[in-house]
């Protein structure tokens, strides 16, 4: 018999078909409150879980699977997986780093350009006839040659910096430790916010970064500053961000992630200085395909007793 695998959130159809060749796949319902109940009939047999960074693998579900051996996550972030329980029980966790670096970095720069140049507003300005009725749109903010602060200088942060360098930007970064990069390391996040025009946030989620971008940082960025978040919604103090944008104490924001997805604060929806995206940092056919392949290959490697391709430390 094929080993049993629980699929918390499905991959693309092609990848699910590949999993079905190797595993007996048990798909969970969309309602999270029913997950433990749904796995009960097969719980003793399940050794494999396939999930995404958004859905993760919560504590109660992991406890309900006494023989679980591996959780394969499609995504870089694993903050929605109970890593403490995984370590205590010797459960392997894999993710999909590197293959999405380009797309997330591209989106970060795109959100910066769209926010600074008012491109989402420009699109609406043309579509609803304001150009004809009102004439030229108000002037926007230049991006090239400006000062950029990057929060996080990991794999994706380094790609963001390379993109920004092509725009002749002066680059600073905040991280716990200095990285081997030719950019200015600033251990004091508030101090960095005071000295840059724009800030792009790309750090992991989880307790260690919750609320990292708080009211003080936002205030330091100021009424001309722009904040872009392509990391996790939990990293930014969302009420403080909303208040600053509504009051004009922050110049603008490009947001791909939110604290309670897919719920977006109502106050943001009517603001012309905000560009909103539905958590699509890695959302291209090419990258999602590569991510799904990596999940499948990690799960198959574990089944075969081979070395995992991308284990989470």
Active site residues per annotation: 232, 261, 279
- Look at phi and psi of residue 279 and say left if phi exceeds 0, alpha if psi is from -120 to 50, else beta: left
């Amino acid at each position: 018999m094929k080993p049993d695998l629980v699929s918390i959130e499905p991959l693309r159809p092609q990848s699910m078909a590949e999993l079905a060749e190797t595993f007996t796949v048990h798909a969970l319902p969309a309602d999270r409150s029913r997950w433990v109940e749904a796995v009960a009939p097969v719980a003793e047999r399940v050794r494999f879980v396939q999930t995404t960074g958004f859905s993760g693998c919560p504590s109660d579900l992991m406890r309900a699977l006494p023989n679980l051996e591996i959780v394969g996550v499609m995504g870089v972030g694993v903050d929605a997986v109970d890593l403490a329980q995984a370590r205590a029980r010797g459960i392997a966790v894999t993710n999909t780093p590197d293959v999405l670096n380009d797309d997330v970095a591209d989106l970060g720069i795109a959100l910066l350009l769209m926010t600074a140049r008012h491109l989402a507003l420009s699109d609406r300005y043309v579509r609803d006839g304001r150009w004809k009725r009102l004439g030229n749109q108000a002037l926007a903010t230049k991006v090239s040659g400006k000062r950029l602060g990057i929060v996080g200088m990991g794999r994706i942060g380094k790609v963001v910096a390379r993109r920004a360098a092509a725009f002749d930007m002066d680059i600073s970064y905040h991280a716990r430790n200095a990285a081997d990069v030719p950019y200015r390391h600033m251990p004091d996040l508030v101090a960095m916010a005071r000295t840059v025009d724009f800030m792009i946030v790309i750090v992991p989620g989880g307790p260690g970064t919750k609320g990292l971008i708080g009211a003080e940082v936002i205030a330091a960025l100021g009424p001309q500053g722009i904040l872009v978040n392509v990391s996790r919604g939990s990293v930014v103090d969302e009420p403080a961000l909303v208040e600053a944008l509504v009051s004009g104490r922050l110049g603008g924001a490009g947001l791909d992630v939110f604290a309670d997805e897919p719920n977006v604060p109502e106050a943001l929806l009517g603001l012309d200085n905000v560009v909103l995206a539905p958590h699509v940092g890695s959302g291209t056919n090419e990258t999602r395909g590569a991510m799904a392949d990596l999940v499948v290959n990690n799960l198959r490697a574990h089944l075969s007793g081979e070395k995992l391709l991308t284990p989470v430390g």
